[in-house]
Structure 1
């Protein structure tokens, strides 16, 4: 499981997707991969999510696949069976974290307060989702909030308010392991079948990060 943190730090950006139709999963993943983005989070917000994970895992090589919005312990078993490499949630539910640990699934719970960071640390989680980042003060807030915990090796994946314009600045912060990018493949773009636009956005952010 320790390898997942290293993978995220290397890939730097995770495309966050909400898939309405499983048939779009592989074309979206291929478009993102072609643009240089090879980490994908499929949120469990639609009935198609688990099948989307299965299809990407089975048909697209070289992509790390996460399950997002994992809110219940029973969902842990479902995403493991679907083939997810790791999972995240918008908040922190000790029952879900424990279920993931029992299943051997790397899990990043969501936090936005010091109390939630301490709860996560108590559960042996040191890679945390910072959500919603854009409306809670961004990096300034995170650095102030996380200052007492830096010596414990905790790192964060912010989601919300991340754009191509600010991604490089955010990634330069030592607290950041990687970022979530929900703008890379928005539902309306996926549903319209505009995979060329998804590839363009992926390539754009990849070039910004490398530049």
Structure 2
């Protein structure tokens, strides 16, 4: 099987920035995801937001399995186990959620798929780790305490790997705060793939923005 659990987790941490994206149009999704991949972001979180999102995901995942197998398609906004199973069957290589659900962890662990549940407290992070989650999503990032929460959490639990989503901007100021606090990667949605770029179908612009943001993270990390 391509992109096993270890490979996906390593890719997420190495990449640093996980683009978070959904669109009901399959062609637009293909173009945006290819632009992200060309910009250096091979791991993409496709959010389960609209009607028939799983069908759009299947079409897109099938396309990349042939067109660019280096793309690692993950799914976000997963809150229950049946939906996680559906997306895994449709090719999802990692699962992300806004909340922690032990049944989702079981399904993902059974299939060796990384699960990053949304946590907002030390206890939730602890529970997620007991359920086998390697990278824990902190959500909504800015609302639960931002970089200060991350720093405080890593004091007693330095082994915790945190990926905030919500409140992370692709600017030097924002990324320095978050990565300086000790996160391993961050999910970034409309701040990265902006409404303006999408409306103009400026896929080259998306690629450039992704490349610049990943380069910024690399320089902040001193790589």
User: For residue 95 of structure 1, what is the aligned residue in structure 2?
Assistant: 103
- Normalised to the residue count of structure 2, the TM-score between the two structures is 0.83
Structure 1 residue aligned with 2:92: 84
Give a deviation string over 1:72-124, Cα, whole Å, max 9, x none: 21122222222121111111011111121122222111111112112112212
RMSD (Å) for aligned C-alpha atoms = 2.0
- Is 1:202–2:206 an aligned residue pair? no
- With a CA cutoff of 8 Å and minimum separation of 6, indicate the structure with the bigger relative contact order: 1
Match of 1:115 in 2: 123
Which of residues 162, 166, 170 is equivalent to 1:160? 166
Contact conserved, 2:119 with 2:138, CA < 8 A, in 1? yes
Contact 1:107 1:125 in 2 (8 A): yes
CA distance in structure 2 between the aligned counterparts of 1:7 and 1:35, rounded to whole angstroms: 14
Residue aligning to 1:139: 147
Q: Distance in 1 between matches of 2:38 and 2:108?
A: 31
The correspondence of residues 20-31 of structure 1 with structure 2, limited to 5 A, is: 20-31=24-35
SS in 2 for 1:163: coil
- State how many pairs are aligned: 208
Contact 2:81 2:107 in 1 (8 A): yes
Change (3 A) 1:191 1:97: farther
**How far does residue 190 in structure 1 lie from its aligned partner after superposition?**
3.0
Is contact 2:151–2:181 with CA below 8 Å preserved after alignment? no
2: CA distance, partners of 1:163 / 1:74: 32
Contact 1:14–1:39 (CA under 8 A) maintained in structure 2: yes
Partner of 1:181: 188
List runs of 5+ in structure 1 lacking aligned partners.
Answer: none
- The 3-state SS of whatever aligns with 1:99 is helix
